[in-house]
Amino acid sequence: MVKIYILLLLVMLMWGLNVSALKVLVDAIDPMLLTSFRVMTAGIAVLIACAFMGILRWPLKHEWLIIFGLSIFNVILHHIFIAVGLEMTTGVNASLILGLTPLVTMMMAVVLLRQKVSRLRVVGFFLGFLGVVVANVSGAGGLGAVSLGDFVVFLGILVQGFSFVMISKLKPTFDPRLATGFMMVIGSVFIFIISQGFGSDVAEITLLLDWKLAFVFLFSALLATAYGHMTYNFAIKKVGPAETAIFINLNTLFAILGSAIFLNEVITLSHIGGFILILIGVFFGTGALEYLLLKRRKGQTNV
């Protein structure tokens, strides 16, 4: 169990630093063009990993429809919104908004899967959104500090939350790690076509020949995107969704610290206050608090 927690900690560190990595990359290369190459690289890496694990196979006919659906929401829309949004907002703001991912996913499950929600979770939803409002509206810029980029990043986590609900409906015979690899490869092709429709210059990819940008790109594609998603899905099966959700709080923390260290962005008291509210909101809203309380009661009963 300790090994799983260490792996989750590493994944959250990589996901958090990936916000700064993407910010650096999209400032140099067209966001959609970059995303297509990054996701393609990650998808190929995932399929290679599946081959080594012995789970690689060609999807069945009905599974292709699922893969295309996941490609639209989890890959095409999600990655485009995040990449474009990061180009129009700060790394700190994007990090805080991304911290709402577990809450948005839970709300999607409540609405679409008819899952019951307790009062504690409702409180968590409100606290989480309040945290984003405090961080983005109460700063020095006031209401004007909320940018279009913040809204675009939020759209990115909305479509991702919907895709997570779709993944939860996968049949046991279709390994989600295998689905991840195929949907990344297919989605990256469509993102590339879309980027060309918007006039992206393919020659910009040659900028990745610079060793610094190449290092950042490989970190984002291979470690944060490919390895990170596979490891997180593996952890969910081992320790359950509630305990893994707790670690997402660290994702936001590492992302904010990364923005301050690598992007030289200023962290204000509003950002800190917003992060604390988001952290509490995620802890309540994902059911992690209820799970831990229930676990504690069972432990006391068995004594």
pLDDT digits (tens, 9 = 90+) for 153-188: 889 988 888 887 777 676 777 888 888 899 999 999
DSSP structural state of residue 200: -
Q: How confident is the model at residue 6 (pLDDT cuts 50, 70, 90)?
A: confident
Tell me the two tokens of residue 57. Answer: 């196979």
CA 167 to chain centre: 14
Q: How confident is the model at residue 56 (pLDDT cuts 50, 70, 90)?
A: very high
Give me the helices (H) in the chain, please.
2-26, 31-53, 61-70, 78-88, 91-98, 101-112, 119-137, 148-168, 176-197, 211-218, 228-239, 241-262, 269-285, 288-302
Tell me the residue range of the domain where 195 lies.
Answer: 2-302
Please give the residue that has the higher pLDDT: either 48 or 168: 48
Specify the pTM.
0.76
Please give the residue that has the higher pLDDT: either 225 or 100: 225
Please give the residue that has the higher pLDDT: either 171 or 213: 213
Please give the residue that has the higher pLDDT: either 194 or 279: 194
Q: What is the mean pLDDT of residues 116-138?
A: 74
Number of domains the chain is built from: 1
Q: What is the reported pLDDT for 146?
A: 62
Q: Does the pLDDT value for residue 138 go beyond 60? A: no
Give the separation between CA 143 and CA 200, rounded to whole angstroms: 33
Quick one: which of 15, 2, 81, 17 has its CA closest to 230? 15
Please name the residue that has the structure tokens 């660290």.
Answer: 250
Average pLDDT, the chain: 82
Q: What is the reported pLDDT for 189?
A: 95
DSSP structural state of residue 220: I
Tell me the two tokens of residue 235. Answer: 């952890």
Q: What is the mean pLDDT of residues 62-76?
A: 89
Q: How confident is the model at residue 237 (pLDDT cuts 50, 70, 90)?
A: low
Give the model confidence (pLDDT) of 241-277 as tens digits. 556 666 766 777 787 788 888 888 778 887 788 888 8
Q: Which residues of 257-267 are buried (b: 16+ CB within 10 A; e: fewer)?
A: bbbbebeebee
DSSP structural state of residue 60: P
- A 10 A CB-CB count for 95 gives 29
Please give the residue that has the higher pLDDT: either 116 or 46: 46
Q: What is the reported pLDDT for 143?
A: 43
